[in-house]
Amino acid sequence: MEYKEFAKYYDRFYKNKDYEKEVGFLMNFIKEGDEIIDIGCGTGIHASLIFQKGFYVDCLDLNDEMLEVAKTRLKSNFYSQNILDINIDKKYDVIISMFAVLNHLKSVDELEKCLSNLRGILKDDGKIIIDLHNPQSSGSKKDSFDNMTRIMEWNYEKKNRIENSKITFMIGYKRYDDSHVFKIFTIDEVKECCTKIGLKVLNVYENYDLDKEGKETSKNLQFVICN
């Protein structure tokens, strides 16, 4: 269902994800008066937390069901667009893309195309903050809360750097399934794509922590990129 039916349950499914911590990290790169866009905003959790701090945040996502939920959270310009084909006549001080959005791309070529599109809507002195997934192995996890049982299984093909992720959740007797294929990019691949299109990686962090440098062994990576 790729975020279609999942959209209704997304917030419940990720109830324990520490969005406040992630937004705390992002605020290190946001200053008064900045114009911001959340790329792959999903249900708009980061955007709405930043909005509550007094900023205006535009929102872009490919999936209309996710955008419908985001619309209930904040006032914004909502763009139903693909990150491979962005058509926005505006430039931003800060572009954020959180929780593996760019891992939905299929190749380094697509990553380069997407970063080039982001550069097209970035002000000269603006910053792009991208949060990428970086699995180290295959695994599974099962837990229950709020009358929901979640089962997550992920199979990481290290050689091709592809993760196949399966999500199953049960609410009462009703069962829902979703699956995603993630392309995993190395730090060097991201840096090389940026260099090719005239962007520069300023820093790479791990776990939304300014004191932790992101490495190939980190489970998630936050890239801070500028012109």
Ligand X SMILES: C[S@@+](CC[C@H](N)C(=O)[O-])C[C@H]1O[C@@H](n2cnc3c(N)ncnc32)[C@H](O)[C@@H]1O
Q: What is the chain's Cα-based Rg? A: 17
SS3 state of residue 127: strand
In the window 42-61, what residues touch ligand X (CB under 6 A)? 42, 45-46, 61
95 near ligand X (CB under 6 A):
no
Residue selected from 3, 6, 51, 205 as contacting ligand X according to rule CB under 6 A: 3
62 near ligand X (CB under 6 A):
yes
In the window 98-137, what residues touch ligand X (CB under 6 A)? 98-101, 104
Element (H, E) at 26: helix 19-26
Spatial separation of the C-alpha atoms in residues 56 and 16, rounded to whole Å: 26
Spatial separation of the C-alpha atoms in residues 204 and 181, rounded to whole Å: 24
Please give the C-alpha separations between residue 23 and each of 83, 136, 163, 187, 193, in angstroms, as whole numbers.
22, 25, 26, 22, 26
Smallest separation, CB 97 to ligand X (Å): 7
Task: Tell me which residue has its CB nearest to ligand X.
Answer: 42
Please tell me the total number of residues recorded for the chain in this structure: 227
Of 139 and 200, CB closest to ligand X? 139
With the C-alpha atoms ordered 82, 16, 47, 193, is the resulting torsion angle positive or negative?
Answer: negative
Residue selected from 23, 36, 37, 41 as contacting ligand X according to rule CB under 6 A: 41
Of 87 and 200, CB closest to ligand X? 87
Residue 105 per-residue DSSP state: S
94 near ligand X (CB under 6 A):
no
184 near ligand X (CB under 6 A):
no
83 near ligand X (CB under 6 A):
yes
Residue ranges binding ligand X (CB under 6 A)? 3, 40-42, 45-46, 61-63, 66, 82-84, 98-101, 104
